[in-house]
Amino acid sequence: MYISHIKNESGRWFIQTNEEHQANVAALASTFASSFGMGEWGKVMGLLHDKGKETTAFQQYIRKESGYESDTRITSNTHHAYIGALTAQKLFPQPSALLANPIAGHHRGLYDSGDLKELLKCDIPQEVKTEPINTTLNLPQIQLQRYHFHHLVRFLFSCLVDADRLDTEVFMTPEQSRLRGNHTSMAELKQMLEQYLSLLNQSAPDTYVNKVRRYVQEQCVAESQGKTGYYSLTVPTGGGKTLASVLWALNHAVRNNLQRVIIAIPYTSIITQTAATLKHIFGEDNVLEHHSEVDYGDSETVSPLQLATENWDYPIIVTTNVQFFESLFSNSPSQCRKLHNIARSVVIFDEVQTLPLGFYQPIIEGIKTLKEVFGTSFLFTTASQPVLEGTDRGFDGLNHIHSIISNERQLHKELKRVEIKEMRESCTYDDIAERLARHNRVLCIVNTRKDAKEIYERLPQEGITLHLSRMMCSAHIKHTIQQVKEALTSDMEMPIRVVSTQLIEAGVDIDFPIVYRQEAGLDSILQAAGRCNREGKIKVGRTFVFSLSKEHYLPVGYISQTNNARKNMGAIEDWFAPDTVSRYFEQLYSRVDSFDEKQICALCNEPRSVQFETAAGEFHLIEDNSIPVYIRYGEGQTLIEELLRTCSMVSYQLMKQLSPYCVNVRQKDFKTLQEAGVILSVADNIHVLQDPSLYDHQTGLTCHNKFLEETIII
């Protein structure tokens, strides 16, 4: 008898044999892989993945480590996954190009091609039997492209990892396993949303904006019956695209028998807002919010939501672009585990224009593969749709994107509630502060943390005057945004003035009559204008685009690049027109040196030599060389005290709870703080701000010698 898993409960031993485990994993992996036509491949991986447990060495190891046989001696290497890969290579010489890496890497992660080849030069131990498996392995009935191969390997890897961990969980912790599954169907969710929108539309004021929102919903229902593919929903800010896009997605999922809706969003502030709305409609049991700042309780009280973050087995997922795409190009078992549940789903990309240009080509190839191989549908939603089609823009774009709103030009005119005016003269900080002080309710959005702080400090501190930047921890930002919303909904006449970096300009549901926006790309200016007269409460809101004087030039990089692209368009007659937006993106693309700056395609697109581990190390949508510093703000005070008490055994759960109470600072600035003696390093990359006076409850992290006042991009 070969033992795969063993446990002791109340003095009684329970054993799962390797034959049982592999059969169970084979059945599960086959089910998962069947969603993209490769069920037999999943079955074979399951039957072979733990073949190496049939060695004497592993059996000695598991008996000794479990305490089942305390006098057993461990005599040799107990690594086992490579033996299953060798067996797959022997039994299926041609298909093993897709099978071997997932099997070999199901614990440690997918290998680079060269490392896998070296591993597979080993011999299968003589004691391991290699009986034939009676099956035929056929590829999906599509024309496979070179860029499909590495994603096929990852999805097979995902099926195996999830199946292996789920079956292990059933045996080892059945009470935890029972928390999974039993979700509401797409058809039931569709009915819930329709009922909610019906009541909402009946109770909403009969304003022109609400009429347009209802029209957008009607178009989404009408255009949801098409086949799986690429769709776009380009609706001016305030047009109700969030709920309309989910309405389209659920109808489209029911029509095409798709299994879930995944909403990928660029910023955590939008995720929190979107997830709260969807949970209100569908209930907590149907919406999974998955990002770095969400906390689902400690390991002693595991919740279904916590389990669902492992494999996305939930009807509606709300996550970040970073989480989505970095998982798609990962080699890690924990990150790739969820991938097979993206197959046969609807993916909504909100604010798609925020995707980094330097990763456009691998991202677009990933999107193509999900649609062409895995039957996934995509909806791109934004107020300023980038040009993603065609092959003449420096990247090989998508083939055809179907627009849900056919008369975009007319719709943008119907929803026009804002005039945008570019100021000719450059301004000083004092000039902008003086202009803001003239208005009772005004929002000013700038490009850097330094600019936000400088302008804020020059404003008259009367009424409600607030500052927002990433020098504040996330909990502080969230609290301040809530203050802004509450102040705007009050009937008080006191002034409300807010100065913010661009963290507020996308997806944050606020409404000012006047907005000032520092010069930037057209898409950023349109996002800022979306915070102006959002609900159409006044006839016309005004957004002013300003530049700061020469001593405050825009920082070199993306902001400068996008601003130059906008300026190169010449005079803009209609800022909101779809053809204006298209011209802007054409200008922007012409300034990009590479749409694959990390050479991800070169690392992945040669089927015989895919560098899975290297590519995963290079694929980071946000280059973050900053260092987190934890702040005693609000609940952060109590959590930091707990951290200091338990610093020798810092728990993952405590760090998740602390994540809203940190500020990421540049290495140079961290060094200055460290040299000033105000940083306590608790463990590797866990640093606490010792001096509470350096964290201002209006502007966030600061220092008396003003070392942080150099330009920092949000």
Q: Where are the domains of the chain?
A: 3-172, 186-413, 417-575, 627-709
> What pLDDT does residue 409 have?
55
**pLDDT tens-place string over residues 234-259:** 887 777 889 999 999 999 999 999 99
The closest alpha carbon to 341, from 479, 154, 202, 487, belongs to 154
Residue 443 has pLDDT above 60, yes or no: yes
Write out the two tokens for 381.
Answer: 């939603």
> What pLDDT does residue 300 have?
44
Domains 186-413 and 417-575 alike in fold:
yes
**pLDDT tens-place string over residues 96-154:** 999 999 999 999 999 999 999 999 999 999 999 999 999 999 998 888 999 999 999 99
Q: In the chain, pLDDT over 90 holds for what percent of residues?
A: 66
Do 183 and 261 touch, CB atoms closer than 8 A? no
Mean pLDDT for 592-602 is 95
Which residues lie closer than 8 Å to 613 by C-beta, 6 or more apart?
109, 110, 111, 112, 115, 331
> What pLDDT does residue 539 have?
87
Q: Which 3 state secondary structure label does DSSP give 283?
A: coil
* Beta-carbon count within 10 A of 40 CB: 18
Distance CA 210, CA 205 (A): 7
Distance CA 612, CA 98 (A): 13
Q: Got the DSSP string for 344-406?
A: T-EEEEETGGGS-GGGHHHHHHHHHHHHHTT--EEEEEESS----B-SSSSS--BS-EEESST
Residue 352 has pLDDT above 50, yes or no: yes
* Beta-carbon count within 10 A of 221 CB: 17
> What pLDDT does residue 78 have?
66
Integer-rounded Cα radius of gyration of the chain: 27
Mean pLDDT for 55-70 is 89
Strand order in the sheet with 377-382: 287-290, 316-320, 261-265, 346-350, 377-382, 230-234, 401-403
**pLDDT tens-place string over residues 613-666:** 999 999 999 876 789 999 999 999 999 999 998 876 778 778 888 989 999 988
* Beta-carbon count within 10 A of 441 CB: 18
> What pLDDT does residue 594 have?
94
Q: What is the mean pLDDT of the chain?
A: 90
> What pLDDT does residue 119 have?
95
> What pLDDT does residue 693 have?
86
The residues that bridge with 537 in the sheet, in sequence order, are: none
Total residues found in the chain within this entry: 714
> What pLDDT does residue 319 have?
94
Please name the CATH architecture into which domain 186-413 falls. Answer: 3-Layer(aba) Sandwich (3.40)
The residues that bridge with 320 in the sheet, in sequence order, are: 265
Which one-letter DSSP state was computed for residue 69?
T
Residue 210's pLDDT band, with cuts at 50, 70 and 90, is confident
> What pLDDT does residue 708 have?
40
Q: Give the burial class of 325: count Cβ atoms within 10 A of its Cβ; 0-12 exposed, 13-18 middle, 19 or more buried.
A: buried
Residue 434 has pLDDT above 80, yes or no: yes
Strand 695-696 versus strand 700-701 pairing type = antiparallel
The closest alpha carbon to 466, from 525, 455, 519, 515, belongs to 455
Residue 75's pLDDT band, with cuts at 50, 70 and 90, is low
Mean pLDDT for 268-285 is 88
Do 495 and 482 touch, CB atoms closer than 8 A? no
**pLDDT tens-place string over residues 446-491:** 999 999 999 999 999 889 999 999 999 999 999 999 999 999 988 6
> What pLDDT does residue 707 have?
43
Residue 660 or 712, more confident: 660
CATH topology of domain 417-575: Rossmann fold (3.40.50)
The continuous run of DSSP H or E covering 17 comes out as: strand 12-17
> What pLDDT does residue 298 have?
45
The closest alpha carbon to 708, from 444, 433, 470, belongs to 470
**Residue 358, phi then psi, degrees to nearest 5:** -70, -5
Residue 291 has pLDDT above 90, yes or no: no
> What pLDDT does residue 292 have?
61
- The residue type of 112 is D
Distance CA 714, CA 195 (A): 40
Do 282 and 193 touch, CB atoms closer than 8 A? yes
Q: Got the DSSP string for 197-260?
A: HHHHHHHS---HHHHHHHHHHHHHHHGGGSPSSEEEEE--TTS-HHHHHHHHHHHHHHHHT---
Lowest mean pLDDT among 102-106, 392-396, 522-526, 693-697: 392-396
Strand 316-320 versus strand 261-265 pairing type = parallel
Distance CA 23, CA 157 (A): 17
Handedness of CA 130, 133, 136, 138 (dihedral sign): negative
Which residues lie closer than 8 Å to 122 by C-beta, 6 or more apart?
82, 86
Write out the two tokens for 482.
Answer: 């809530």
Can you list the alpha helix ranges (DSSP code H) found in 506-661? 522-529, 558-567, 578-589, 600-604, 612-618, 636-645, 652-658
The 10 Å CB-count burial string (b at 16+, else e) for 5-29 is bbeeeeeeeebbebeebbebbbbbb
Residue 689 has pLDDT above 50, yes or no: yes
**pLDDT tens-place string over residues 163-180:** 999 999 999 999 988 888
